[in-house]
Amino acid sequence: GAVLAGNIVINEFDLNPAGKDAGNEWVVLYNSSEVEVDISRWTLETTHGKTVTVKIPRGTIMPPKGYWTYIHSRQWLDNEDELIILKDAEGIEVDRTLMASDTDDDNRYWTRYPDGLDTNSDSDWRFGERVLSKGVIRSGTVFFKDKGPWPFE
């Protein structure tokens, strides 16, 4: 059968990493299905403060049970009351995070527990994990966007 967009979730994110936020904030997507999914031209949108939309590059394929991480060289996530929305190439909402805050300048981040759990409830999320860091994010693809226009393309 067809893979539903709902098989792709925002799985982890770090609003306020240790040190500078620019170049160190990240969002991890997870494909919970048994088949690869093309997420080309999907978007991640932030909703607090300055709204930012980032487009996932053409040709981006998520492997089954795989992870994909987005990092930008600029600061793009707010530390308080941030909500991140994932939309498909048609602009239809696929997933969203809870409204989250992280006021501590450290390596703790928000994560779904367990991986991929999506009951559309804030209780799907846990804060305080420290096992992931930039460059060592799961075993999936890491996409680092260096500079670029604002809003990000």
Total domains in the chain come to: 1
Is residue 121 one of the residues assigned to a domain? yes
Is residue 151 one of the residues assigned to a domain? no
Give the pLDDT confidence score for residue 94 in this predicted structure.
95
Residues in the chain, total: 153
pTM of the model: 0.86
Is residue 153 one of the residues assigned to a domain? no
Q: Which residues pair with 68 in a beta bridge?
A: 29, 141
For residue 135, the enclosing domain spans 5-145
**First-residue to last-residue Cα distance in the chain:** 32
Give the pLDDT confidence score for residue 35 in this predicted structure.
94
Residue 122 backbone dihedrals phi, psi, to 5 degrees: -60, -20
Q: 111: closest CA among 137, 91, 90?
A: 137
Is residue 32 one of the residues assigned to a domain? yes
State the CATH number of the domain containing residue 82: 2.60.40.1260
Give the pLDDT confidence score for residue 75 in this predicted structure.
87
Contact, 77 vs 15, CB < 8 A? yes
Give the pLDDT confidence score for residue 114 in this predicted structure.
86
- In angstroms, the Cα distances linking 102 to 69, 83, 107, 126 are 19, 12, 10, 12
Give the pLDDT confidence score for residue 124 in this predicted structure.
93
Render each residue's pLDDT in the chain as its tens digit; 153 residues: 445 566 999 999 999 988 898 888 889 999 999 999 999 999 999 988 778 898 998 999 998 988 898 888 888 899 999 999 999 999 999 999 999 999 988 888 899 988 888 999 999 999 987 665 554 455 556 666 666 554 444
SS3 100: strand
